[in-house]
C-alpha cells in the first residue's frame, strides 16, 4: 500500500481526460483502508472514493486524495434449495461477477452484463440495464464508517434505492466506504425479457443465461463505445421523467417518441432520443462529441479537454430545453 502523488487519472477513468489528483492510494484489505484513513494525507485533504472510474468526469485536477479498493473475492456465504447468497469484494470488476454467476448457474445478474465499473460502485449507483437494476439482487452492503473506523452494514431496505440512486449518493456519500456487497441470486431459472431486444428470446427453447448475455453484449457493442478504445462514461444523462400532461403535448407533435409510463402521472422519455431529435447527433465541441450510435453518450476523440466536455454538456442541456422544454440532468458524476 502506497500513497502516490500527482497521479494521472487518464487511465483510471473511462472518460480518459488529462487530469491528475494530488494523492492516489489503493488498498487490498479493510485494515489497509483504515491505515489510509488515519494517514495525514487523508486527514488534511478532501477525499473521494472511486471504482472503475466509469461514471466520473473530472472537470479539473482533483486537489485531494482518491481511494480505490482492491478488495477482490467472491464467497458463497449461504444457500438454500432456491437461492444462494454471495459476498463480493468492492474491488471486483462488475462484469467478472456477472460471468461468475452465469458460470455457476446463479440467476439475476445476467441482464446487467457488460456494464463497466466495480462491485462497490454498483451498490452506490444502483446500476441498471435491460429491465434490471442491481438493487433487485442486493441484500446487504458492508462498509467502513470513516468517522468511527468501524465496520458496519446497511440492509437492502436501508439503502433507499431508486433509479441510479441510493442513500450512498446523498447523506452517506462521504461517511461510508463500501467494502463488500451481498447479493442473493436464484438457483431456479428466471428471466426478465421485457426489454425490447430481449423479447425475442422468450420464444427460444432451453434459453440459457449465456444466451441473454450474448444478446445484451451484442446490443451494447453496437450502441455503446468500448471504453478501452473511445473515452466515455456510458450514459451521460439520466432519462428524464415528465408529467403525463407535458408528455401529452410532446406526443401530439412527435408521435414517434419512445416512452415508458412510470405511473398514472409520470412518463420517462429517453434522453438519447431527445438529443438526437434536437439535431445534435455527432455534434462536437473541441474533442468532445455526441456519439452517433447512441446520443446519450458524450465521447472523447482522444483530445477532449475537460472544458470541451463541460461546454458540450451545457450546449446539449440548453438545446434540448429550448426545443422540448425538458431539462436534462447528468447521470455521470461531474466533479
Ligand atoms: N434513442 C434514439 N436516439 C439515440 C438513443 C436512443 O432515438 O441516440 C431511442 C432508442 O431508439 C430507444 C430509446 O431511445 O427507442 C431508448 O434507447 P436505449 O434502448 O438505447 O436505452 P437508453 O434509455 O438510451 C438506458 C440506460 C443505459 C442502458 C440501456 C439499456 C439510462 C440513462 N441509460 O439507455 O445505461 O444500457 O437503457 O437498458 O437509463 C449507462 O447507465 O451508462 C447505460 C448505458
Residue nearest to ligand 1 atom 32, measured at CA: 238
Same domain (yes/no): 177, 116: yes
pTM reported for the whole predicted model = 0.91
Residue nearest to ligand 1 atom 41, measured at CA: 235
Same domain (yes/no): 107, 181: yes
Same domain (yes/no): 85, 55: no
Q: Look at residue 196 in the predicted model and tell me its pLDDT.
A: 85
Same domain (yes/no): 310, 236: yes
Separation between Cα atoms, residue 302 and residue 266, nearest integer Å: 39
Span from the CA of 207 to the centroid of ligand 1 (angstroms) = 25
Residue nearest to ligand 1 atom 43, measured at CA: 235
Question: Does the residue 219 lie in any domain?
Answer: no
Q: Look at residue 277 in the predicted model and tell me its pLDDT.
A: 97
Q: Which atom of ligand 1 is nearest to the CA of 234?
A: 42
The CATH number of residue 93's host domain is 3.30.465.10
Q: Look at residue 177 in the predicted model and tell me its pLDDT.
A: 96
Q: Cα angle at 232 between 273 and 334, to 5 degrees?
A: 90
Q: Look at residue 174 in the predicted model and tell me its pLDDT.
A: 81
Catalytic residues: 164, 235, 331
Span from the CA of 91 to the centroid of ligand 1 (angstroms) = 27
Same domain (yes/no): 60, 134: no
The CATH number of residue 21's host domain is 3.30.43.10
Span from the CA of 96 to the centroid of ligand 1 (angstroms) = 23
Q: Look at residue 1 in the predicted model and tell me its pLDDT.
A: 80
Same domain (yes/no): 154, 246: no
Q: Which of 11, 38, 69 is where one domain is finished?
A: 69
Question: Does the residue 194 lie in any domain?
Answer: no
Question: Does the residue 280 lie in any domain?
Answer: yes
User: Ligand 1, from 193, 296, 297: best to mutate by most atoms within 8 Å of Cβ?
Assistant: 296
Q: Which residues of 282-295 are buried (b: 16+ CB within 10 A; e: fewer)?
A: ebebebbbbbeebb
Share of the chain above pLDDT 90, in %: 94
CB of 272 sitting under 6 A from ligand 1: yes
- Residue span of the structural domain in which 134 resides: 74-186
Question: Does the residue 31 lie in any domain?
Answer: yes
Cα dihedral sign, 37-41-44-48: negative
Question: Does the residue 192 lie in any domain?
Answer: no
Count CA atoms closer than 13 A to 15's CA, side-chain side. 31
In the block, cell 467502513 appears at 144
With residue 300 as reference, give the H or E element that holds it. strand 298-300
Same domain (yes/no): 87, 182: yes
For helices 94-104 and 209-223, what crossing angle results, to 10°? Answer: 150
Same domain (yes/no): 83, 142: yes
The CATH number of residue 324's host domain is 3.90.78.10
Question: Does the residue 199 lie in any domain?
Answer: no
Question: Does the residue 275 lie in any domain?
Answer: yes
Same domain (yes/no): 259, 282: yes
Q: Which of 40, 69, 98 is where one domain is finished?
A: 69
261-278 pLDDT, tens per residue? 989 999 999 999 999 999
Residue nearest to ligand 1 atom 33, measured at CA: 235
Span from the CA of 130 to the centroid of ligand 1 (angstroms) = 9
Same domain (yes/no): 295, 280: yes
Joined together, the cell numbers standing for residue 270 give 429517453
Span from the CA of 294 to the centroid of ligand 1 (angstroms) = 7
Classified as helix, coil or strand, 74 is strand
Q: Which atom of ligand 1 is nearest to the CA of 331?
A: 32
Q: Look at residue 25 in the predicted model and tell me its pLDDT.
A: 98
Q: Which of 19, 41, 69 is where one domain is finished?
A: 69
Counting the structural domains of the chain, the total is 3
CB of 133 sitting under 6 A from ligand 1: no
Question: Does the residue 59 lie in any domain?
Answer: yes
Count CA atoms closer than 13 A to 297's CA, side-chain side. 21
Which residue ranges of the chain lie beneath pLDDT 70? none
Q: Look at residue 86 in the predicted model and tell me its pLDDT.
A: 98
Count CA atoms closer than 13 A to 44's CA, side-chain side. 5
Amino acid at each position: 500500500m502506497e500513497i502516490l502523488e500527482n497521479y494521472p487519472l487518464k487511465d483510471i477513468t473511462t472518460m480518459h481526460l488529462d487530469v491528475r489528483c494530488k494523492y492516489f492510494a489503493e488498498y487490498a484489505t479493510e485494515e489497509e483502508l483504515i491505515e489510509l484513513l488515519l494517514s495525514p494525507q487523508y486527514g488534511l485533504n478532501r477525499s473521494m472514493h472511486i471504482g472503475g472510474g466509469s461514471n466520473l468526469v473530472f472537470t479539473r485536477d482533483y486537489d485531494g486524495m482518491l481511494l480505490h479498493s482492491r478488495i477482490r473475492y467472491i464467497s458463497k456465504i449461504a444457500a438454500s434449495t432456491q437461492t444462494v447468497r454471495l459476498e463480493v469484494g468492492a474491488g471486483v470488476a462488475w462484469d467478472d461477477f456477472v460471468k461468475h454467476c452465469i458460470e455457476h448457474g446463479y440467476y439475476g445478474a445476467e441482464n446487467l452484463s457488460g456494464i463497466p465499473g466495480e462491485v462497490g460502485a454498483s451498490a452506490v449507483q444502483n446500476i441498471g440495464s435491460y429491465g434490471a437494476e442491481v438493487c433487485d439482487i442486493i441484500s446487504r452492503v458492508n462498509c467502513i464508517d470513516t468517522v468511527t473506523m468501524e465496520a458496519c452494514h446497511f440492509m437492502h431496505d436501508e439503502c433507499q434505492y431508486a433509479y441510479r440512486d441510493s442513500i450512498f449518493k446523498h447523506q452517506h456519500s462521504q461517511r461510508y466506504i463500501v467494502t463488500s456487497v451481498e447479493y442473493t441470486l436464484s438457483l431456479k431459472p428466471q428471466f426478465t425479457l421485457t426489454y425490447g431486444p430481449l423479447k425475442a428470446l422468450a420464444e427460444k427453447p432451453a434459453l440459457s443465461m449465456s444466451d441473454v448475455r450474448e444478446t445484451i453484449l451484442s446490443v451494447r457493442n453496437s450502441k455503446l463505445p468500448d471504453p478501452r478504445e473511445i473515452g466515455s462514461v456510458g450514459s451521460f444523462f439520466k432519462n428524464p421523467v415528465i408529467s403525463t400532461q407535458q408528455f401529452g403535448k410532446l406526443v401530439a407533435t412527435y408521435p414517434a417518441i419512445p416512452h415508458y409510463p412510470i405511473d398514472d402521472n409520470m412518463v420517462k422519455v429517453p434522453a438519447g432520443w431527445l438529443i438526437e431529435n434536437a439535431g445534435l447527433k455527432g455534434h462536437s465541441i473541441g474533442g468532445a462529441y455526441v456519439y452517433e450510435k447512441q446520443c446519450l453518450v458524450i465521447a472523447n476523440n482522444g483530445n477532449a479537454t475537460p472544458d470541451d466536455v463541460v461546454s458540450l454538456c451545457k450546449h446539449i442541456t440548453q438545446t434540448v430545453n429550448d426545443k422540448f422544454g425538458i431539462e436534462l440532468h447528468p447521470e455521470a458524476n461531474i466533479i
